Chain A
Amino acid sequence: MAQDSLFDPIDPLKVHTKPPEGHSSNSRLERVLRQGRFAVTSELNPPDSANPEDVYDAARPLSEVVDSINATDASGANCHMSSLGICSLLTRVGYSPVLQISCRDRNRIAIQGDVLGAASVGVANILCLTGDGVGVGDQPGAKPVFDFDSISLLRTLRTMRDDSMFLSGRKITQPPRIFIGAAENPCIPPYEVRAERLKKKVEAGAQFIQTNYIYDVPRFERFMARVRDLGLDDKVFILAGVGPLASARAAKWMRANVPGIHVPDHVIERLEGAEKQGEEGKRICIELIQQMREIKGVSGVHVMAYRREELVSEIIQESGVLEGRHAALRGRRARKLET
Chain B
Amino acid sequence: MYTVRRFVVRHSRFFEWVYGWFEPILAFLDPLWSRLGYNQIERPVAFAERHIKGFLFDCQMCGQCVLSSTGMSCPMNCPKNLRNGPCGGVRENGNCEVKPLMKCVWVDAWDGASRMRGGDKIAIVQPPVDRSLEGSSSWLRVARERAEEKRASRDAARQAMADAFSEAREEEPAAAPLAQEPPNAQPMQEADESTTIMTVEKN
> Is B13's beta carbon under 8 Å from chain A?
no
**Contact (Cβ within 8 A) B81 A190:** no
Chain A 92-115: CB-based contact to B (< 8 A → 1; otherwise 0): 000000000001100010000000
A189 touches B125 (CB 8 A): no
- Answer yes or no: A220 CB below 8 A from chain B CBs: no
Give chain B's interface residue range (CB within 8 Å of chain A).
Answer: 20 to 34
Name the B residues within 8 Å of A192 (CB-CB). 110
Given contacts A183-B88, A190-B94, contact A152 B80 (CB under 8 A): no
- Bits for B76-110, please: 1 = Cβ < 8 Å to A, else 0: 00011111111111111110011000001011001
Cβ–Cβ contact A200 & B125, under 8 A: yes
A200 lies within 8 A of B89 (CB):
no
Asked whether, in the complex, the Cβ of A262 is within 8 Å of the Cβ of B92, the reply is: yes
Asked if B126 contacts A146 (CB within 8 A), the reply is: no
B44 at the A interface (CB under 8 A): no
Asked if A203 is at the interface (CB within 8 A of a chain B CB), the reply is: yes
Distance, CA A190 to CA B80, complexed state (A): 17
Across-interface contacts of B89 in A (CB, < 8 A): 132-133, 185, 188, 259-260
A146 in contact with B82 given A132-B97, A260-B97 (CB within 8 Å): yes
Bound CA–CA A204/B125 (angstroms): 7
B88 touches A185 (CB 8 A): yes
Name the CB-closest residue of A to B95: A189
Q: Are A193 and B125 in contact, CB atoms less than 8 angstroms apart?
A: no
In the bound complex, residues from chain A placing their C-beta under 8 Å from that of B131 are: 147
Residues of chain B lying within 8 A (CB to CB) of residue A144:
79-80
Q: State whether A108 touches B128 (Cβ < 8 A).
A: yes
A186-B83 Cα distance, complex, nearest whole Å: 19
Q: Which listed residue (A133, A199, A203, A262) contacts B80, Cβ 8 A?
A: A133
Task: List the B residue with the shortest CB-CB distance to A197.
Answer: B85
Partner of A200, one of B80, B107, B123: B123
A133 touches B126 (CB 8 A): no
- Interface: A196 (CB within 8 A): yes
- Report, nearest first, the 10 A-B pairs whose CB atoms are least far apart: A185-B88, A259-B89, A151-B84, A133-B98, A260-B88, A149-B82, A259-B97, A260-B89, A130-B87, A152-B128
Other A-B contacts than A132-B89, A146-B82, A152-B128, 9 sampled, CB-CB below 8 A, are: A104-B80, A108-B128, A133-B97, A144-B79, A148-B128, A151-B84, A183-B88, A189-B107, A260-B87
